[in-house]
């Protein structure tokens, strides 16, 4: 599924310890790629690394908050001597749900910094090296939330819209170098972060994807950028891209009220 010569010998997974990130790690290790896994909590990081090593690959773990302003330098400290053919930027679930005008500016900024600032700095750093070697891939994990503004998570939705549009432009540029770019759009997916957020995933009729399935789908479509909507959500993405925007926004708002917890996250 994953061509070692194109995307190896090393892959970096920013947010590579839990949920979809852990699934990427298992699948890439199974394809023989060596891994650099980045996350904050040491236990899931060590567990995912141990699982990946069972495939006989080398794994470096980097316990790091990607919001640290020196994150790129720290990542470079581990990766500068490695030939990185794949960057997966997975970290980025919403960390702050609140009405904008009364919200905490610092917490909103952190959502922007993780999903935009850090994502851009890693994509530029590793993208430049891939352009030089004329092969590789950049996979950014996006969200259906990025197709339509939503109350309480307006900042998160907007960062995911940014990511998707950015990925399209980057795809156009990087194809000149033979480097693949994919924005992998997820709908609701059963990850530890979702469980911690208290979202109600057992709603009748709700399409809930499993991490292994969407990670597998993403890797299988790495060369089919710039955007792939995973988990059977293509129609939902098309619907949310339509008009009139007021009707669509209000309709989605009603649907998400059933899913989101009442309190701030
Ligand atoms: N789950 C869903 O329903 C859903 C739906 C649509 C889109 N998505 C997208 O899918 C991606 C994965 O989401 P997720 O639900 O698995 O949650 P997540 O909180 O983004 O966690 C994913 C991974 O990133 C790491 N991480 C998170 N924040 C980090 C930080 N500041 N620094 C370093 N590592 C960090 C986590 O480990 P640590 O916490 O230990 O750092 C974990 O390994 C996100 O981009 C999200 O927007 C998810």
d(CA 95, CA 107): 8
* Mean pLDDT on 154-179: 98
Atom 13 (ligand 1): residue with closest C-alpha? 93
Is the distance from the beta carbon of residue 11 to the nearest atom of ligand 1 less than 6 Å? Answer: no
Token pair of 41, please?
């909590």
Ligand 1 centroid to residue 20 C-alpha, Å: 8
Ligand 1 neighbourhood includes 93 CB (under 6 angstroms) = yes
Known catalytic residue: 160? yes
The pLDDT tens digits for 1-52 are: 799 999 999 999 999 999 999 999 999 999 999 999 999 999 999 999 999 9
Q: What pLDDT digit, counting tens, does each position of 216-240 carry? A: 999 999 999 999 999 999 999 999 9
Locate 161 and state its tokens. 């819209």
SS3 per residue for 2-25: CCHHHHCCEEEEECCCCHHHHHHH
Rounded CA-CA distance 194/20 in Å is: 11
Q: Is 156 a catalytic residue?
A: yes
Grouping H, G, I as helix, E, B as strand and the rest as coil, residue 179 is strand
How many whole angstroms separate alpha carbon 11 and alpha carbon 36?
6
Active-site residue, selected from the candidate residues 4, 96, 156, 177 = 156
Determine the Cα–Cα distance for residues 29 and 17; give it in Å rounded to an integer. 13
The reply to whether ligand 1 has any atom less than 6 angstroms from the CB of 199 is: no
**Site to substitute for ligand 1 among 48, 91, 148, 189, most atoms within 8 A of C-beta:** 91
State pTM to two decimals: 0.97
User: How would residue 86 be classed by pLDDT, with cut points 50, 70 and 90?
Assistant: very high
């Amino acid at each position: 599924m994953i061509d070692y010569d194109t995307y190896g010998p090393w892959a970096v997974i920013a947010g590579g310890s839990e949920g979809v990130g852990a699934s990427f790690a298992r699948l890439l290790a199974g394809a023989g790629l060596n891994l650099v896994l980045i996350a904050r909590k040491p236990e899931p990081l060590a567990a995912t690394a141990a699982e990946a090593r069972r495939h006989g690959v080398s794994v470096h773990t980097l316990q790091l908050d990607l919001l640290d302003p020196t994150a790129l330098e720290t990542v470079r400290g581990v990766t500068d001597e490695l030939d990185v053919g794949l960057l997966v930027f997975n970290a980025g679930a919403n960390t702050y749900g609140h009405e904008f005008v009364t919200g905490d500016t610092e917490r909103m900024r952190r959502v922007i910094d993780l999903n935009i600032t850090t994502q851009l700095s890693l994509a530029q750093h590793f993208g430049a090296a891939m352009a030089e070697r004329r092969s590789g891939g950049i996979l950014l994990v996006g969200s259906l939330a990025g197709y339509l503004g939503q109350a309480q998570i307006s900042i998160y939705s907007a960062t995911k819209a940014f990511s998707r549009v950015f990925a399209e432009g980057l795809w156009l540029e990087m194809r000149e170098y033979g480097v693949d770019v994919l924005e992998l759009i997820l709908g609701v997916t059963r990850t530890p972060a979702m469980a911690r957020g208290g979202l109600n995933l057992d709603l009748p009729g709700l399409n809930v994807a499993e991490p292994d399935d969407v990670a597998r789908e993403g890797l299988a479509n790495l060369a089919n950028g710039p955007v792939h909507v995973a988990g059977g959500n293509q129609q939902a993405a098309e619907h949310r891209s339509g008009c009139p925007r007021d009707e669509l926004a209000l309709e989605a708002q009603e649907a998400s009220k059933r899913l989101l917890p009442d309190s701030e996250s």
